[in-house]
Chains A and B, each alone.
Chain A
């Protein structure tokens, strides 16, 4: 695994996302309440651009007619056929045992330990005070 800087933390505010190309793969990086998660931008169903989908909450129900809404913005609905994926884990909601989207470990790193990425040194000054979002591929 190699580590790639994909954004400055403040470029992806809470509730926001950024889609980046890393090593030929399109990756979506999401900020959920200050925590970052990265998903492969490819739906396991028919390879749609998953990370372009709406972020939605979780709807559950104890019984017909009841709609229990929680975790706003923490799921991703594929823009194609509407499959729901948990952004934190990549797990699909409808078929949790069999379908997952590929996730990547994401860490918030200080500027010093960068290796490479789309934000090459010339565009951002590297300093220890700045926080970068680094993705392991």
Chain B
């Protein structure tokens, strides 16, 4: 059967502006956050410092594949780590890839994983102010995600409401790996605030929560940690559904970022099948999980799936829905995707437009 489709075309060739749902800005140095912290917290930052439930203060328990987790050619010539230099980001990424809107996801320092919640709350406002001052204000193509110390849900709600007043912020930042599954009642003030302010939740892989990466203990290799982070998306999604978050907040949108998207159909089918058997346990979940997913969930593309038969990528997109897939690069990380080359399968012009642009507009309300 032949598809009447265009050959793979680069988004740039077709002059399509790309909405990139995952760009990682970095602090230039440990002290770069200080201007946004009060003296009391600068002192704390410099003394006891940020502390997460992990073995190392600065290094990674599962050492990454590359320095700063980044592509080897993303170190700014003027200095600083990858993602820390806006001029270089424009030159290397935003301009040549025709990024119309880029959504920032701040991973380091990890605000939501701070064991000292007061420090975490202070860091959240600082990180959000830093994003505006040094990224979204000077560069109108960029939007920020509201950083929150999620284990203090009330403070997080306050911060969401503060940031939502500015158009700089496109979403709220969370990860699947929180202290408890995302749907648990303790986090509901966050969903309340996000729903009220119209901000979607971007659930970005990662999180240091003190739990092992598997339900059968801690793995040995970065390869397991890396892939395991993507696997964690499935239980996060299950929690948001089975705890009733999606039922109670029908207008709240979720974007699953940096977990790839191939997992979504089989996960959806599994949730449906076993909800059908055990729905009496979760009577507050009034619809099949797939209905919530179709209604409220989008999947960002990176790391793009690389099936052995490229046409299976089209099958996955059909099962998820071409309108539920949003493009992301993950710049400057080592496994990032280039919009000109990531999709090794032909798509119609309409499908390209949806994946690279219009779906994200719908998901983020852009």
Contacts and interface: CB of A to CB of B under 8 A. Distances in A.
A53 interface: yes
A82 B73 contact: no
B341 A47 contact: yes
Interface of B: 65-66, 71-73, 334-338, 340-342
**What are the 9 closest A-B residue pairs judged by CB atoms, nearest first?**
A79-B72, A46-B341, A52-B73, A79-B73, A47-B341, A46-B338, A80-B71, A79-B71, A81-B335
A46 B10 CA distance: 12
A53 B75 CA distance: 12
A82 B338 contact: no
Which secondary structure dominates where chain B touches chain A? Answer: loop
Given A46-B337, A77-B72, 16 more contacts: A46-B342, A48-B73, A48-B338, A49-B73, A53-B72, A79-B72, A79-B73, A80-B71, A80-B72, A80-B334, A80-B335, A80-B336, A81-B334, A82-B66, A82-B334, A82-B335
A52 B70 CA distance: 13
Nearest to B337: A46
A27 B66 CA distance: 24
A136 interface: no
Contacts of A48: 71, 73, 338
Nearest to A52: B73
A54 interface: yes
B342 A54 contact: no
Interface of A: 46-49, 52-54, 77, 79-82
Nearest to B303: A81
Nearest to A78: B72
Nearest to A47: B341
B97 to A, nearest CB: 12
A79 B336 CA distance: 11
A47 B338 CA distance: 9
B7 to A, nearest CB: 16
Contacts of A79: 71-73
Contacts of A52: 72-73
A122 B2 CA distance: 56
B98 to A, nearest CB: 16
Interface centre among A52, A53, A81 (most CB of B within 10 A): A81
Nearest to A81: B335
Contacts of B71: 48, 79-80
Nearest to B338: A46
Given A46-B342, A52-B72, A54-B72, A82 B337 contact: no
Nearest to A46: B341
A48 B334 CA distance: 11
B342 A82 contact: no
B331 to A, nearest CB: 11
Contacts of A54: 72
Given A52-B73, A53-B72, A54-B72, A82 B341 contact: no
Nearest to B306: A45
Contacts of B73: 48-49, 52, 79-80
Nearest to A80: B71
